[in-house]
């Protein structure tokens, strides 16, 4: 009897694990992610982490260009989102719709020969950027599906020991029939300090930084 009960418990445990994994990978709706390495951008059409780098290491005065990526979209006609950051850690450098010349990155709205108007980036306040974009007309045939870049944004690190969090908020996707979807699947990003960038030059400040990280300060 004890062996039978033990086997039942094992089967139940396996079922729970499989159910949790299924729920964790259930990305039926659209998603939006921050990619801190725009040199690699062969994104999957669904919501995965392929070519999405959410952690990089930097030093002071380093400029980092990131991509905000739409994932698993359907009939995307317009979008808007906020990007939040710590203005004591990062300084906003600029933004662009795409970068086809250097990195061959095309804005997702142009995927099916769509034409965009009014790519706009507003620095709402230090630490908050709003970006919006839309296609001309309402041709569903040109509204893209899958995944692609919404914007490329640059930041400069301000501190000797970067510890910056980049957070997406108020992400809104609109289709060609003007139906709006508030995006729930969001992937944020972090810029940290790597002692290897200053190998051989570690100081008391390095120890203080490590204590900050370990204490989640």
Tokens read off for 118 = 């009014």
The residue-averaged pLDDT of 8-36 equals: 60
- Predicted confidence band at 27 (pLDDT cuts at 50, 70, 90)? low
At residue 7, φ and ψ (nearest 5 deg) are: -65, -40
CA dihedral 151, 53, 33, 124 (to 10 degrees): -50
Domains and CATH numbers, the chain: 29-195 (2.60.40.680)
Contact (CB, 8 A) for 111 and 172: no
**Residues 201, 101: contact at Cβ < 8 Å?**
no
Greatest distance between any 2 Cα atoms in the chain: 71
Question: Quick one: average pLDDT of 188-195?
Answer: 90
Tell me: the pLDDT tens digits for 199-210?
Answer: 555 556 555 655
Tens-digit pLDDT profile for residues 68-118: 999 999 999 999 999 999 999 999 999 999 998 888 999 999 999 999 998
What the block records as the tokens of 112 is: 């099916």
Whole-number Å distance between alpha carbons of 106 and 138: 20
Which run of H or E residues covers position 143?
none
Record the pTM. 0.79
């Amino acid at each position: 009897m004890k062996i039978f009960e033990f086997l039942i418990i094992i089967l139940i445990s396996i079922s729970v694990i499989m159910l949790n994994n299924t729920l964790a990978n259930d990305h039926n709706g659209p998603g939006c992610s921050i990619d801190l390495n725009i040199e690699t951008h062969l994104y999957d059409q669904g919501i995965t982490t392929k070519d999405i780098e959410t952690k990089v290491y930097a030093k002071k005065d380093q400029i980092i260009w990131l991509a905000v990526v739409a994932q698993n979209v359907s009939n995307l006609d317009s979008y808007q989102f906020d990007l939040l950051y710590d203005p004591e850690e990062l300084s906003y450098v600029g933004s662009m719709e795409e970068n086809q010349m250097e990195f061959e990155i095309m804005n997702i709205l142009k995927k099916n020969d769509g034409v965009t108007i009014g790519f706009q980036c507003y620095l709402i306040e230090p630490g908050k950027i709003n970006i919006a974009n839309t296609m001309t007309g309402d041709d569903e045939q040109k509204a893209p599906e899958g995944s692609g870049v919404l914007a490329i944004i640059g930041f400069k690190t301000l501190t000797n020991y970067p510890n910056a969090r980049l957070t997406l908020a108020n992400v809104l996707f609109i289709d060609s029939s003007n139906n709006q979807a508030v995006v729930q699947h969001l992937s944020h990003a972090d810029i940290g300090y790597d002692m290897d960038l200053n190998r051989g030059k570690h100081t008391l400040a390095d120890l203080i930084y490590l204590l900050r990280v370990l204490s989640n300060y």
